[in-house]
């Protein structure tokens, strides 16, 4: 029986915990979660899914202010974990913390490492127009996503997927990798594969300003932005001093290289905007302060003048 501690903060973490609870050779002795700080409209603290699972299943729940602090390192050491499994915890672990598990610390990353090391692999797979991606189970290293590869799973990215669809596939794949790993731990530990640093690419943390649509860029890249940023920060632009967020888009190729941002046509099928090498077509949007709408719904109450520009 492997003594396991899981650290994480998202629904991805929760799905992995539920899978590990089904394994005959795994005992989750503790779950590490961030301190719950989100509040509902009444001011009540919202308990994360990770915390709920721990509380509902009588698993020791730890919420350290500093996972790398000396006191918490002693707490972890006293628990004598074989594995520390980190899934979307959101904090960098120190060398000392990573050295605590008797066997190793492991992590699930949402790309085929060494491609897209960093904080936003799901978004960047879409931004880059990848046709396929995957998930990696790796031995954690103090350097960012540079640990030895334990297992990987590759899959194709459907053309119409946005962030949420790809994220769901990443989650499903990550759960499968954990299940496979604990089906034969010794086999996989003895066959670790070092990453080829020469093939490494990196992706930064997404910022709000990254969602600003620049119509002098390729129409396809703007469409990819819409798909990648539908969770956060949203693709957005401005018209007549109000912000428009774009939830769905399409694009058409052309030889266009002028009049970037010009509204070419508006109808129930879309708002057609001139961009580099094509036309960016807005299909679903949200005017600042209003609800999300289809273009047909939006045009019933809003006027956009053909020939004017988005900024």
The sign one gets for the Cα dihedral 20, 182, 23, 179 is positive
- What is the phi/psi pair of residue 159, to 5°? -60, -30
The whole-chain average pLDDT of the chain stands at 95
The domain in which residue 161 lies consists of 110-136+150-205
Whether 143 is covered by a domain: the verdict is no
Does residue 284 register a pLDDT over 90?
A: yes
Point out which residues pair with 212 in neighbouring strands.
236
* 171 and 256 within one domain: no
State mean pLDDT over 122-138: 98
- What pLDDT digit, counting tens, does each position of 74-117 carry? 999 999 999 999 999 988 999 999 999 999 999 999 999 999 99
Regarding whether 282 and 262 lie in a shared domain, the answer is yes
Same domain for 129 and 194: yes
Asked whether the predicted pLDDT for residue 29 surpasses 80, the reply is yes
Q: What is the mean pLDDT of residues 271-284?
A: 97
Band of the pLDDT at 241, cuts 50, 70, 90? confident
Token couple for 164? 């949420």
Domain containing residue 21: CATH number? 3.40.50.170
Q: Residue 291 domain-assigned?
A: yes
The verdict on 224 and 129 lying in the same domain is: no
221, 169: one domain: no
Domain total in the chain = 3
| Residue 306 maps to a domain | no
Answer yes or no: is 196 within a domain: yes
Question: In this prediction, what percent of the chain has a pLDDT beyond 70?
Answer: 99
Residue 18 has pLDDT above 80, yes or no: yes
| Domain assignment present for 145 | no
Residue 308 within a domain: no
Q: What's the pLDDT tens digit per position in 143-166?
A: 889 999 999 999 999 999 999 999
| 142 falls within a domain | no
Quick check: is 311 in a domain?
Answer: no
Let me know: does 229 contact 235? Beta carbons within 8 Å.
yes
pLDDT digits (tens, 9 = 90+) for 178-207: 999 999 999 999 999 999 999 999 999 999
CATH number for the domain harbouring residue 293: 3.10.25.10
Query: What does the pLDDT read at residue 90?
Result: 84
* Whether residue 269 has pLDDT greater than 90: yes
Q: Are residues 187 and 131 in the same domain?
A: yes
Mean pLDDT of 283-304: 93
Judge if 38 and 74 occupy the same domain.
yes
């Amino acid at each position: 029986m492997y003594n396991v501690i899981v650290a994480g903060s998202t629904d991805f973490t929760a799905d992995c915990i539920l899978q590990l609870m089904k394994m005959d050779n795994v005992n989750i002795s503790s779950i590490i979660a961030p301190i719950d700080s989100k509040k509902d409209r009444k001011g009540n603290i919202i308990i994360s899914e990770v915390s709920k699972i721990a509380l509902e299943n009588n698993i020791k729940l730890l919420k350290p202010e500093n996972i790398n602090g000396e006191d918490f390192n002693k707490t972890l050491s006293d628990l004598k974990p074989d594995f520390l499994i980190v899934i979307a915890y959101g904090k960098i672990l120190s060398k000392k913390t990573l050295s605590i598990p008797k066997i190793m610390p492991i992590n699930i990353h949402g790309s085929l490492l060494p491609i897209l090391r960093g904080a936003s692999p799901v978004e960047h797979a879409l931004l880059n127009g990848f046709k396929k991606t995957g998930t990696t189970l790796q031995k954690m290293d103090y350097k960012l996503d540079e640990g030895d590869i334990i297992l990987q799973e590759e899959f194709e990215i459907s053309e119409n997927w946005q962030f949420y669809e790809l994220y769901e596939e990443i989650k499903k794949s990550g759960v499968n990798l954990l299940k496979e790993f604990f089906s034969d731990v010794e086999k996989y530990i003895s066959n670790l594969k070092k990453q080829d640093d020469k093939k490494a690419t990196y992706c930064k943390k997404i910022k709000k300003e990254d969602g600003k649509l620049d119509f002098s860029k390729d129409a396809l890249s703007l469409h990819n932005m819409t798909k990648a940023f539908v969770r956060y920060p949203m693709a957005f632009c401005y018209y007549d001093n109000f912000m428009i967020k774009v939830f769905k888009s399409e694009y058409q190729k052309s030889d266009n290289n002028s009049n970037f941002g010009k509204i070419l046509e508006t109808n129930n099928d879309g708002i057609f905007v001139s961009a580099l090498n094509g036309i960016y077509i807005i299909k679903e949007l949200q005017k600042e302060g209003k609800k999300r709408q289809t273009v047909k719904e939006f045009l019933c109450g809003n006027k956009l003048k053909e020939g004017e520009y988005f900024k």
